[in-house]
Structure 1
């Protein structure tokens, strides 16, 4: 658990005093090491290109006259540090520092430019975050109790640091506000039914009706005598209105005749005079005496066809049934308001005034919508909107006020009140309502439920954090965490736009592609739900497949469209490196890409993003039956002869070569273009491997901490809604340490992340 928050602040203040006393000595030590350790190494290995008047790539290291200047340009020094750490610099054709010399340079940069004090951590500051459109839709669902699709109404969100919930990029333009208001109206239209409740209405589109003829998007087309039928389930005996939307073509001496049948008995008939391009409603009231399912049919009785008729427009008489709508019962008491309406408009006390009732309803709604206790006078101002619609009734007025609430900053933004927000030295524990919101939007991409809110109100959420984390994970709403986090961390959202070329992979189809995405999501979900070690994402000896995917993977004895867990006898498919989703994302339509595959592993699994390629570097040519016949590996080795390309490709290409046995569709192969595949590689640190099995073993055995740090870094970025910075290093170190102390447990990582200073605390801005 976290340390006592009061003690934390006392310690922070004490550390400030200590830092003031020890600052001079620390600075002297770092400056002395600059002269004795760092500068000689930089002069030896870096100044030929980045010093002594030379500034290749617009970088001159010797321009920094002091450590203070270096700290003012931390982004530059972050790139310098990354290039040294990942062996991108010096270039491979230059003298290379020893491992100890690299470590010495990195240690000095960390201590001088990125100094952190684990005993006095900086929790950082999250920009006030707007709900992104996924969070907005989910929050509407849980707040209103109705499923409303508003995704198409709201503009797509920008992304930052790989995620679309980053506060710095979630702007709010006038266009956004208009669309959010429209989405609120659509949602409230489905949720609230003001005034007298209209009779229930059941509509069946013609394309969904059974019977003769043909069905299309337009409806049910009867080109010969016959009927279109649906089954209606009445609420109770009574009078009902049947509305048939239909049109037709003239034939012979008149229009088509359309009969209305109930349980096979004719109740009414119409002459359908509406042309095909302008369908019309035909209405009739019927009496239904029971509650049993009732077949309702439309019967076309006067088919006509004469190809010799002198009037070409009257040679063929047909009927199109666009839809059948049944409304009722029309008699008796009006139906009860829906549950979604009643959960907002709670019971009204006898003698309670409109204003008092409206204030009670708005207060209850606002507390849920704003995800915190209501401030004094906050809901009273919405009564002005209630009064504007008082002539239409109290429900209309309250509905108007609710529209305003659903586009207010308190709903659209995740507020986290804090003392002294402009004081960068003021560090404080986020209150329990803000913590509840952080938890629910992390796991559910939605608002806190009633239990979280009640615990926060009583000040007991932190005391019950273990149980609540388990509850949030096991709740079905945690599927949002799986789909939204993995969709962006592992780029699974991009899978639908990945499709191998049909001429090269004729058997591949979109259904198989979607199954690949689901396989990876199900593996991640299983690891979290079962509290397996996080490293099982890389070495799991099981996976989740249906028949189509199993056939593509050559996994026997799987039938049917349902997904099931299968044990893998072949280690080729262990973990996500064996998943088709990864292979699709890292291939071109016609061929694989070792570069993309290596880059994917570095960025997403090892948190080692290589720099962007130099400008004007040509793409490799796709395979050709003509000209020089080089393998893809040979082309890349030729490409690496350029010194400006060699360092980065030395990081990426070997990893990609290890995965070359998977083609662009994710199927296994032993040859490419008639030649045996060489899946050997050597990492930048000298580790050699052959094939995906050995590559996986190297990652699992020798880069486990790198993988844990990468997952923790991505997860913390997603949870906080901000990019991580140099001062987050102590938090990441502790998350990784706690995870590994628990045997790599996925739940331990989640708990350590939630316990971390950045998740639990915040500070003011500068």
Structure 2
């Protein structure tokens, strides 16, 4: 029988059955509907086949994915984990199937998500997989922090090392932290420099350290020249202009602090002798903050929080210069005051005096060395003093073993000390000086593979591919690198040596203790700095013709707002949802005026309660985020949309195809708005597929310009900030976007957990991590989305506490050229 005939016969049979049921009254009292068929592996396989396989197959391979080999039994067996996790994420995020295609029912979608997620979670719990163990080099900021904490040396050596590569958004990823002969040579050079500074043995030759003071000619919203503001919170409150530098004195003695001055006008002059002022100061050996700033005179009706120079309102006489007080500061203390004449322009410009400003600060010296040559570094290193040559070797062993224990993050033995003592012995014999030998031993320690690398150990006889708990000493290193980007402290080392750190309650308590330590600032600087793209802010170059109000102080305040916001959440154990929407932020007068917010005075950043009408709550209202997601002369709907998808939802769009045409700024002689430009661009179907997700998000932020100031118009047209998501959901502006994100708070929590786990592990997230990410996100949601709950969950996760034995264990063969270690 043909298919058509069979269909008619089936319909006829159904009609006869219905009539018979009506005749018997079977339909008069509705019978209970049958229970829905339980969702199982066959159901999941069928759903993938019906809704996914038409694009994701061996022929089309949309998104480089094929699901032809997927079977319902894969989940229980742990097969094709990456594919099942990819499907699960896309279905949960309502991105697949595409909204232009046939959709499963909400009930089927929910059942599929529950079945796949529970199956993957159960398999991961029964078969923990911490991922590939890769030997990891300390990146340059970790190396610098380790040097600082090991030797009590307040010098940042990161700038002496090359920039590290990034992977998965971070520069601490093991797979991209490669080692080359050139890099090894650089480490050797830096190690020699650090050893000389830390031991302080050389009589330093006179030299000059220079600091260029950022000079703005911009005018603030209040109409006051920017140079008349206090330039740093490290400078006195009653000061204007100037700057401050960090200087390390190799020896205690006399140093000349030199200031190069100029007028605060756009008519720059050549550097002339009268533009130079100098003061001799006495410095002890070690780190100092040295600065110069002009002193203000306060009007009697002004508060300490709002300071202005009375020269702004009192004209300077033109017949003779006015003497201005210039303070020279060392470590926040005024050591002398110089009387500097105001600047007199040449006749060809005007007969007028101007206040002066500091353009550059130099510290030259030492002109003379005197006083005790003692530093925290020398006290940290020289823990013993041999009274005779017979005691020198034992003292050297004590010094180097103590340093090596902290540097190598474990107890050390004779094999560890042998190369350090060899370096010490060679230099001791060559110079006849005990301290010179120690200097060589310190340099050798700083280039040892045991210091440079996070090299973890496996139990004796461990089977390749097997999984075991990380040793306590390795756990201490993981924790310190995660939260401090540095070495474990004495507390962690002692707990590791007693084999107590692996206990969940102790590990959790130590993580919370470390978050309360000032060194936890590294989490803000290096995790938040990369997650939120804050590191890119220094590279932003807004067009000064279009944005004359942008200056270095505004840039600094932008970065400080977001850094303080993140640090506040960590310190107070705040809610992750504040990243999406908050009723507070951190402002000073400069940034508040940029936002159009009144009542905030002074240069100090402080917590400010926000009026909802200002539209500034959460990350997306902060100028730092709005600036790094823009170009120098205009906003970018695409960059802003991509930033939200990638960083807040962990759902990045695919990379753009090659040869994507640039947006057209005008069409047929008409200047186009951002919306009109993208409408033209999306006319190409190849472009529309990605832009349909990014652009609505970016349009919601179009009421903020390329430096985060509020605006109403673009290209002479009123801005339309309304948008529609691919599923048809409509919203308007940043308030509407916040509502969309808060409705997806669970997705954001998982996205944040994924980013933080990537940073904590120093590797990309794998399929085996995703069940743990979901579990940690659920823990966070149950605890009001508190950020420390997420951090604690990562620290206690299998991925953080377990290690897989490498299948082919490669021995660490990096050796350092001992002949070049002589400082």
Q: Normalization by structure 2: what TM-score? A: 0.71
Match of 1:473 among 487, 507, 515: 515
Q: Would you say the 8 A contact 1:88–1:648 is kept in 2? A: no
Quickly say closer, same or farther: Cα 1:219–1:120, change in 2 above 3 A.
Answer: same
Counterpart check, 1:589 vs 2:632: yes
Matched residue SS, 2:125: coil
Question: Hey, what does 1:735 align to over in structure 2?
Answer: 776
Q: Would you say the 8 A contact 1:124–1:762 is kept in 2? A: yes
Counterpart check, 1:37 vs 2:43: yes
Q: Would you say the 8 A contact 2:254–2:280 is kept in 1? A: no
For structure 2, the 5+ residue unaligned runs are: 1-38, 205-249, 263-267, 285-333, 340-361, 808-823
Deviation readout 1:366-417 (Å, 9 max, x if unpaired): 1111111113432134322222123312221222122111111100012222
Quickly say closer, same or farther: Cα 1:54–1:742, change in 2 above 3 A.
Answer: closer
Counterpart check, 1:375 vs 2:382: no
For 2:740 and 2:441, locate their aligned partners in 1 and report how far apart those are by CA, in whole Å.
60
Counterpart check, 1:185 vs 2:192: yes
Matched residue SS, 2:580: helix
For 2:699 and 2:649, locate their aligned partners in 1 and report how far apart those are by CA, in whole Å.
17
Give the CA RMSD over aligned residues.
Answer: 3.6
Question: Hey, what does 1:561 align to over in structure 2?
Answer: 603
Q: After alignment, is 127-136 or 606-615 more displaced? A: 606-615
Matched residue SS, 2:803: strand
Q: Would you say the 8 A contact 2:592–2:600 is kept in 1? A: yes
Deviation readout 1:540-585 (Å, 9 max, x if unpaired): 1111111111001011011221111111113510111100111112
Quickly say closer, same or farther: Cα 1:749–1:38, change in 2 above 3 A.
Answer: closer
Matched residue SS, 1:483: helix
Question: Hey, what does 2:749 align to over in structure 1?
Answer: 708
Instruction: Describe how 1:325-404 pairs up with structure 2 within 5 A.
Output: 325-329=366-370, 335-348=372-385, 353-391=391-429, 392=431, 393-404=433-444
Match of 1:230 among 273, 276, 279: 279
For 2:48 and 2:375, locate their aligned partners in 1 and report how far apart those are by CA, in whole Å.
72
For 1:688 and 1:538, locate their aligned partners in 2 and report how far apart those are by CA, in whole Å.
18
How far residue 703 of structure 1 moved from its aligned partner, in angstroms, is 1.0
For 1:296 and 1:52, locate their aligned partners in 2 and report how far apart those are by CA, in whole Å.
78
Q: Would you say the 8 A contact 2:196–2:439 is kept in 1? A: no
Matched residue SS, 1:727: helix
Question: Hey, what does 1:456 align to over in structure 2?
Answer: 496
Q: Would you say the 8 A contact 1:201–1:326 is kept in 2? A: yes
Quickly say closer, same or farther: Cα 1:469–1:217, change in 2 above 3 A.
Answer: farther
Q: After alignment, is 353-362 or 165-174 more displaced? A: 353-362
Matched residue SS, 1:566: strand
Deviation readout 1:707-753 (Å, 9 max, x if unpaired): 11111111111111111111112221221122122111112221122
Q: Would you say the 8 A contact 1:359–1:380 is kept in 2? A: no
Q: Would you say the 8 A contact 2:252–2:369 is kept in 1? A: yes
Q: After alignment, is 60-69 or 627-636 more displaced? A: 60-69
Q: After alignment, is 348-357 or 147-156 more displaced? A: 348-357
Q: Would you say the 8 A contact 2:153–2:376 is kept in 1? A: no
Q: Would you say the 8 A contact 1:421–1:765 is kept in 2? A: no
Matched residue SS, 2:159: helix
For 1:707 and 1:617, locate their aligned partners in 2 and report how far apart those are by CA, in whole Å.
30
Q: Would you say the 8 A contact 2:257–2:279 is kept in 1? A: no
Counterpart check, 1:412 vs 2:419: no
Question: Hey, what does 2:179 align to over in structure 1?
Answer: 172
Deviation readout 1:259-315 (Å, 9 max, x if unpaired): xxxxxxxxxxxxxxxxxxxxxxxxxxxxxxxxx989999xxxxxxxxxxxxxxxxxx
For 2:626 and 2:70, locate their aligned partners in 1 and report how far apart those are by CA, in whole Å.
44
Q: Would you say the 8 A contact 2:258–2:279 is kept in 1? A: no
Question: Hey, what does 2:467 align to over in structure 1?
Answer: 427
For 1:730 and 1:60, locate their aligned partners in 2 and report how far apart those are by CA, in whole Å.
22
Q: Would you say the 8 A contact 1:91–1:647 is kept in 2? A: no
Q: Would you say the 8 A contact 1:544–1:565 is kept in 2? A: yes
Instruction: Describe how 1:64-75 pairs up with structure 2 within 5 A.
Output: none
Quickly say closer, same or farther: Cα 1:561–1:694, change in 2 above 3 A.
Answer: same
Instruction: Describe how 1:251-270 pairs up with structure 2 within 5 A.
Output: none
How far residue 522 of structure 1 moved from its aligned partner, in angstroms, is 0.6
Counterpart check, 1:494 vs 2:536: yes
Q: Would you say the 8 A contact 1:233–1:294 is kept in 2? A: no
For 1:747 and 1:598, locate their aligned partners in 2 and report how far apart those are by CA, in whole Å.
28
Question: Hey, what does 1:20 align to over in structure 2?
Answer: none
Deviation readout 1:81-115 (Å, 9 max, x if unpaired): 65555555555554444445555666777689998
Deviation readout 1:162-214 (Å, 9 max, x if unpaired): 1101111111111111111111111111111348999743321543699xxxx
Deviation readout 1:645-700 (Å, 9 max, x if unpaired): 33322222221122121111211122223333222223344433222112212312
Matched residue SS, 2:707: coil
Q: Would you say the 8 A contact 1:184–1:406 is kept in 2? A: yes
Match of 1:203 among 255, 258, 269: 255
Q: Would you say the 8 A contact 1:160–1:169 is kept in 2? A: yes
Quickly say closer, same or farther: Cα 1:157–1:557, change in 2 above 3 A.
Answer: same
Quickly say closer, same or farther: Cα 1:507–1:42, change in 2 above 3 A.
Answer: same
Matched residue SS, 2:255: strand
Q: Would you say the 8 A contact 1:207–1:219 is kept in 2? A: no
For 1:424 and 1:111, locate their aligned partners in 2 and report how far apart those are by CA, in whole Å.
29
Quickly say closer, same or farther: Cα 1:533–1:455, change in 2 above 3 A.
Answer: same
Matched residue SS, 1:374: coil
For 1:63 and 1:746, locate their aligned partners in 2 and report how far apart those are by CA, in whole Å.
40
